């Protein structure tokens, strides 16, 4: 498993004439935290949608651990060990917190007992044990966000893709989330891709960054060099003025 990667190659996506992605290649390795950043509308969510099968690329390919997964439906991709969260929380609001996690584990082939054990361990780890039997729809926004990540982990993924997991959280909640996320790659050996606008969080959490602007990769590499790259500074200043 040493070279297990999730790899997108030369991805293009078109929406009714709009080129949302144009020749983007991205590699996520197990054990690393990769930050996917860029101005609004630069194609970040679309790229995650391609990696998880929600959007079919018009060209390019996606490989997981060397096997092609391009164009597979989301459940088939999930079975390869790729889990995600959404920019807008999508829990089963009428199920309990625990049932949400169990459902994710069962969907990946765990038996009922194993699913319950996995769910309880994750609820403990995420400080959610007290909400175990609450309806997911009754939680605060910050707690919903944590449940969504715990649920993605209940599937036992090799790769976890988080679309703005800290959006709408206050600073204390965001710091708590950061501590949880920072531990995941070493603890579970998974590759974590995170989209976020909070540069403080991104800079503290990520090992590498991949920057998109207008559907193209404008920089990638270690955090310090990417942050200093003139094209990155320009892309961010440009949108600050817009």
Ligand X SMILES: Nc1ncnc2c1ncn2[C@@H]1O[C@H](COP(=O)(O)OP(=O)(O)O)[C@@H](O)[C@H]1O
Helical residues (DSSP H) of the chain, grouped into ranges: 44-51, 74-79, 97-107, 112-125, 141-154, 171-188, 199-205, 223-228, 230-241
What is the torsion angle, in degrees rounded to the nearest 10, for the CA atoms of residue 69, residue 73, residue 77 and residue 79? -130
Q: Indicate the residue among 95 and 167 with the shorter CB distance to ligand X.
A: 167
- Of 183, 159, 155, 179, the residue nearest 169 (C-alpha): 179
CB atoms under 10 Å from CB of 212, counted, come to 26
Q: Give the DSSP letter of residue 236.
A: H
Nearest distance, CB of residue 45 and Mg ion, angstroms: 3
Nearest distance, CB of residue 46 and ligand X, angstroms: 3
Q: Indicate the residue among 42 and 100 with the shorter CB distance to ligand X.
A: 42
For ligand X, the binding residue among 40, 66, 133, 224 (CB under 6 A) is 40
Nearest distance, CB of residue 71 and Mg ion, angstroms: 22
Subset of 35-64 contacting Mg ion (CB under 5 A): 44-45
Under rule CB under 6 A, residue 217 binds ligand X:
no
**Which positions from 18 to 37 touch ligand X by CB under 6 A, shown as an x/- string?**
x-x-----------------
Single out the segment in contact with ligand X by CB under 6 A; choices: 43-51, 91-99, 104-112, 154-162: 43-51
b/e map 155-165, b = 16+ CB within 10 Å: bbbbbbbbbbb
Q: Which residues sit at the interface with Mg ion, rule CB under 5 A? A: 44-45
């Amino acid at each position: 498993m040493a070279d297990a990667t999730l790899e997108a190659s030369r991805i293009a996506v078109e929406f009714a004439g709009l080129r949302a992605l144009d020749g983007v290649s991205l590699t996520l390795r197990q054990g690393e935290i990769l930050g996917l950043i860029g101005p609004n509308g630069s194609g970040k969510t679309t790229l995650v949608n391609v990696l998880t099968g929600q959007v079919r690329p018009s060209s390019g390919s996606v490989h997981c651990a060397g096997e092609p997964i391009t164009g597979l439906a989301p459940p088939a991709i999930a079975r390869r060990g790729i889990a995600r969260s959404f920019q807008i929380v999508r829990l089963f609001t009428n199920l309990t917190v625990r049932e949400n996690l169990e459902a994710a584990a069962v969907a990946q082939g765990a038996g009922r007992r194993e699913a319950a054990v996995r769910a309880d361990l994750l609820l403990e780890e995420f400080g959610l044990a007290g909400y175990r039997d609450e309806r997911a729809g009754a939680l605060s926004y910050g707690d919903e966000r944590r449940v969504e990540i715990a649920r993605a982990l209940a599937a036992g993924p090799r790769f976890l893709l988080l679309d703005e997991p800290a959006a709408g959280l206050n600073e204390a909640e965001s710091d708590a989330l950061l501590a949880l996320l920072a531990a995941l790659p070493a603890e579970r050996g998974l590759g974590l891709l995170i989209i976020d606008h909070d540069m403080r969080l991104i800079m503290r959490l990520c090992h590498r960054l991949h920057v998109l602007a207008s559907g193209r990769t404008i920089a990638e590499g270690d955090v310090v060099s990417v942050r200093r790259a003139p094209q990155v500074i320009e892309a961010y200043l440009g949108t600050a003025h817009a």
